[in-house]
Amino acid sequence: MLFTPTAVPDLELLLTYAHLNANNPQSETADDPIEDRFQAVQNGAHWETKVNSLVLEANYSFSDAWQASVTGTYADSTSERFSRPGAGSSFVEADEYSIEGLLRFAPTDGKLSGLFGISYFAADQDEISDLSAFLGFGDFVDSQRSFGIFGEATLDLTPALHLTVGARWQQDNQDREGALGPVSLDYDQTFDAFLPKAELAYDINEDVVIGVTARKGFNPGGTTISFVTGDIDEFGAETLWSYELFSRASLADGDLLLTGNLFYTDFTNAQRPLISTAAAANGTIVEYTEFANAPSAESYGLELEAVWKASPAVQFRASMGLQESKITETLLPADPMLGKEFQRAPRFNVALGVHLNPIKPLTLDLGLRHNSSYYSDDANNPAFENDGVTLIDAKAPMILDRSAPLSICATPPMNIIRSGSSGPAMPRSAIRVNMASVWK
- Per residue of the chain (440 residues), give pLDDT as tens: 888 888 888 899 999 999 999 988 877 777 777 667 677 666 668 899 999 999 999 999 999 899 999 999 999 999 999 988 888 899 999 999 999 999 999 987 778 999 999 999 999 999 999 988 888 899 999 999 999 999 999 999 999 999 999 999 999 999 999 999 899 999 999 999 999 999 999 999 999 999 999 999 999 999 988 776 778 888 999 999 999 999 999 999 999 999 999 999 999 999 987 766 666 666 666 666 778 899 999 999 999 999 999 999 999 999 999 999 999 998 888 888 999 999 999 999 999 999 998 887 788 899 999 999 999 889 998 988 888 989 998 887 765 555 444 555 544 444 433 333 333 333 344 444 444 443 43
Q: What is the pLDDT of residues 369-411, one digit of tens each?
A: 999 999 988 999 898 888 898 999 888 776 555 544 455 554 4
Q: Is residue 280 part of a domain?
A: yes
Q: Is residue 87 part of a domain?
A: no
Question: 140 vs 189, 214, 249, 360, CA distance in Å?
Answer: 16, 40, 52, 55
**Going along 280-383, which residue ranges are E strands?**
285-311, 314-329, 348-359, 362-371, 374-375
Q: Is residue 150 part of a domain?
A: yes
Q: Is residue 33 part of a domain?
A: no
Question: Which residues form the domain of 335?
Answer: 94-104+114-435
Which residue, among 86, 90, 80, has the nearest Cα to 43 in the 3D structure? 86
Q: Which residues fall within 8 angstroms of residue 63, CB to CB, at 6 or more apart?
A: none
Q: Which residues fall within 8 angstroms of residue 284, CB to CB, at 6 or more apart?
A: none
Which residue, among 250, 273, 274, 248, has the nearest Cα to 261 in the 3D structure? 248
Q: Is residue 19 part of a domain?
A: no
What are φ and ψ of residue 34, in 5° steps? -60, -35
Sign of CA dihedral 224, 225, 229, 232: positive
Q: Is residue 244 part of a domain?
A: yes
Q: Is residue 11 part of a domain?
A: no
Q: Is residue 43 part of a domain?
A: no
Question: Structural domain tally of the chain?
Answer: 1
Which residue, among 176, 171, 172, has the nearest Cα to 188 in the 3D structure? 176
What are φ and ψ of residue 36, in 5° steps? -75, -15
CATH code for position 205: 2.40.170.20
Region label for 279, one of left (φ > 0), alpha (ψ between -120 and 50) or beta (otherwise)? beta
Q: Concatenated DSSP letters for 104-140?
A: EE--TTSSEEEEEEEEEEEEEEEEEEEETTTTEEEEE
Vertex 100: Cα angle to 98 and 101 (nearest 5): 155
Residue 114 contacts residue 152 (beta carbons within 8 Å): yes
